[in-house]
Every structure is written in structure tokens, then in C-alpha cells.
Amino acid sequence: ATTTVGVIGLGSMGLGMAQTLVTKKFRTVGFDLSADRRKLAEDAGVEPLLTIGEVITVSDFLVFSLPTAQDVSGVVESHLDLFQAKSGQRVIIIDTSTSEPDVSRDLANRLASLGHGFLDAPVSGGPAGAASGKLTMMIGGSEEDLALARPVIEAMAAKALHVGPSGAGNVAKLVNNLLAAAHMITTSEGLKLALAAGIDPEAALRVVNAASGKSMISDVHFPTWVMSDRFDSGFSMGLMRKDVRLAKKLADSTGAQLPLSEQVASLWAGSADLADSDDFTRMGAFKQKN
Ligand code: NAD
């Protein structure tokens, strides 16, 4: 029988992943609260359904791409009766949202007791990576669930790294995004210094990217979205603020002392000139800053 994948959340990331699944010949159904997003998905060959319940009922695998951990647990908890009804037919949830380790562990335990699987599987690579099936995915969960979900995961991700048990994928993603958030600020400050000291920031950036100061932020995000003043990477300030806040919360809960990250967190939270709906690459703008 054909494998049916249900994508819940068809935003910047979810729509691209759903499109990729269609291209790779999975029967793909989907749901988003927004009718506009459902229409875009339909245009891309996804079967849009009108409720999350219908998606759960027909799917073998569920891919979540929701803003927050609260959205993820809300969707699962309000449909526990449907998961219970399907308990003879194992469903694996691949949660690609940047979520919280404790929430993932709790959901994995509750779904396991109903005979279902849950992998925390957050991603990196942006909307372009989602639409081309070239995401990097960091996975927490059991070997068994991962083996079952592998064909779906490999359709979406060029690199799928199993980090450890449930919650480990979320921890790795928060570590990654904390670094990306820091790189956005440090690269911006470096180019601000270049400008203040009288050299062309474009030339300074070329040097950094051929030398030891390079990061993916300096190598991809600066040329594509910051130097060009385009600021349309498709990842919002609001979502990056969430990630930095979650990384700080994780550090606090473990007792890890991270003095530079404290500063990074307060700069992202406090950048009052930028709205949550702005693109996160605006945080790299350096020309007008004093
Ligand atoms: P987005 O805001 O573009 O999309 C989220 C979608 O979820 C929206 O279309 C919204 O209508 C929908 N939604 C919200 N609650 C819902 C619900 N209960 N049921 C159904 N749909 C619901 O966000 P995004 O940029 O696609 O990010 C999704 C997740 O992926 C976030 O956790 C984000 O942190 C993470 N992420 C984003 C990027 C990126 O570059 N955009 C990269 C890696 C990870």
C-alpha cells in the first residue's frame, strides 16, 4: 500500500517539506490553520484536509512543522482519542519543529503507551533546504522508530544525525541555533569594525570566509541576505528569539554557566527596533548601527 504522510503546519518550512514529499512520490496530505497556506499546499500537489483529525486518521507518518513546543503538545493532546483508536496501526510522528526537550520526552512516553512513535527531529537549512529535500535533521528517539521513519526522513534531509534518546535532537538544535544567533551578532560587529577602521566590509567578509572567522552565517547568510539588504531568508526574528530563549532556559535548568551566551540572549531579546515578524537576518545589519 502507498505510504501516506500527513504534514501539520504548512508554513515557511512545512510547505517546502510537503512539496518535497510529493516530489518523492509519497501520498501527502496536510493541514494548516491558515486557508492561504492550505491553498498553496494544494497548488503544490498536497491534499489539504480540513481538520487535524482527518490527517491523523489517514496517515502512516506525521510530520509536524509548528512554531512552538506548546503548539506541538496542543495538537497531540487534543487528539489522544484518535491516537488511542489507531493504536493497532503504529503511527510515527517526526516533529521537525524547534521544540523543547522535556516536552518531546513527555510526548514520546505518552504516545509509546498508545503504541505510537515520536521522534524529535528539528531541522536546519531554511525554507530552501526544505523545498529541495536537503535539510540537516538532528534526531532524538529510539533506533526502532528511526528505522521505521527513515524513508520519510531521507526524503526531506540530506543529513540525518541520530543524536541520542528522546529530547536529544532538541538539545542539539538549541545548541546549533545559539551558535547561529551568536555568529549573526559577532559577524555584524566584525564588519562594523572593518567599516569604522576604513576598509570595505565586502572585502573584510571575503577575508573572513577564506579564513578562520568563517561560519555558515558569514558564508551564506551575510552575502545572500545582509550585504544585499534583502532580509528575506524566511526565518523570523520571533522564532529565533524563541530559540535563544529556550537555549538560555536549558542552560539555567542544567546550571551551565555561559557568560557570552547570556549577552547574546539579551541582545536578541532586547533589539527593540526589530519586530518578531521581521526576518532574523536584520539582526546582522551593521551599516547604520552606532
Ligand atoms: P511559520 O510561522 O512560517 O509556519 C508555522 C505554520 O504553522 C503557520 O503556517 C501556522 O499557521 C501553522 N500553525 C500554527 N499552529 C497550528 C496548529 N495548531 N495547527 C496547524 N497549523 C498551525 O514557521 P516556520 O518558519 O515554518 O517554522 C516552523 C518551525 O520550524 C519552528 O519551530 C521554527 O523554529 C523551525 N525552523 C524554522 C526555520 C526557518 O528557516 N524558517 C529553520 C529551521 C527550523
Q: State in Å: Cα 204 to ligand 1 middle.
A: 35
pLDDT tens digit sequence for 270-283: 999 999 999 999 99
Strands 4-8 and 157-164: unpaired
Ligand 1 site-directed mutation target among 7, 31, 32, 38, most atoms within 8 Å of CB: 32
pLDDT tens digit sequence for 194-251: 999 999 999 999 999 999 999 999 999 999 999 999 999 999 999 999 999 999 999 9
Ligand 1 site-directed mutation target among 7, 8, 10, 13, most atoms within 8 Å of CB: 13
Q: State in Å: Cα 278 to ligand 1 middle.
A: 15
8 Cβ below 6 A of ligand 1: yes
50 Cβ below 6 A of ligand 1: no
12 Cβ below 6 A of ligand 1: yes
Q: State in Å: Cα 135 to ligand 1 middle.
A: 15
49 Cβ below 6 A of ligand 1: no
Predicted confidence at residue 57, as pLDDT, reads 97
Q: State in Å: Cα 238 to ligand 1 middle.
A: 11
126 Cβ below 6 A of ligand 1: yes
Q: Are 170 and 122 in contact (CB under 8 A)?
A: yes
Per the residue annotation, which of 173, 192, 242, 248 is the catalytic one?
A: 173
Q: How do the pLDDT tens digits run along the chain, 290 residues long?
A: 799 999 999 999 999 999 999 999 999 999 999 999 999 999 999 999 999 999 999 999 999 999 999 999 999 999 999 999 999 999 999 999 999 999 999 999 999 999 999 999 999 999 999 999 999 999 999 999 999 999 999 999 999 999 999 999 999 999 999 999 999 999 999 999 999 999 999 999 999 999 999 999 999 999 999 999 999 999 999 999 999 999 999 999 999 999 999 999 999 999 999 999 999 999 999 987 55
Residue ranges of the chain that CATH labels 3.40.50.720: 4-165
181 Cβ below 6 A of ligand 1: no
Q: Are 276 and 241 in contact (CB under 8 A)?
A: yes
Query: CATH homologous superfamily for 171-284?
Result: N-(1-d-carboxylethyl)-l-norvaline Dehydrogenase; domain 2 (1.10.1040.10)
DSSP codes joined into one string, the chain: ---EEEEE--SHHHHHHHHHHHHTT-EEEEE-S-HHHHHHHHHTT-EE-S-HHHHHHH-SEEEE--SSHHHHHHHHHTTHHHHHHTTTS--EEEE-S---HHHHHHHHHHHHTTT-EEEE--EESHHHHHHHT-EEEEEES-HHHHHHHHHHHHHHEEEEEEEESTTHHHHHHHHHHHHHHHHHHHHHHHHHHHHHTTS-HHHHHHHHTTSTT--HIIIIIIIIIITTT---SS-BHHHHHHHHHHHHHHHHHHT---HHHHHHHHHHHH-TTS-TTSBGGGGG--SS--
Active site residue 289: no
Q: State in Å: Cα 288 to ligand 1 middle.
A: 31
Q: State in Å: Cα 156 to ligand 1 middle.
A: 16
Residue ranges of the chain that CATH labels 1.10.1040.10: 171-284
30 Cβ below 6 A of ligand 1: no
235 Cβ below 6 A of ligand 1: yes
Q: Classify domain 4-165 at the CATH class level.
A: alpha beta
Residue with cell 555558515: 216
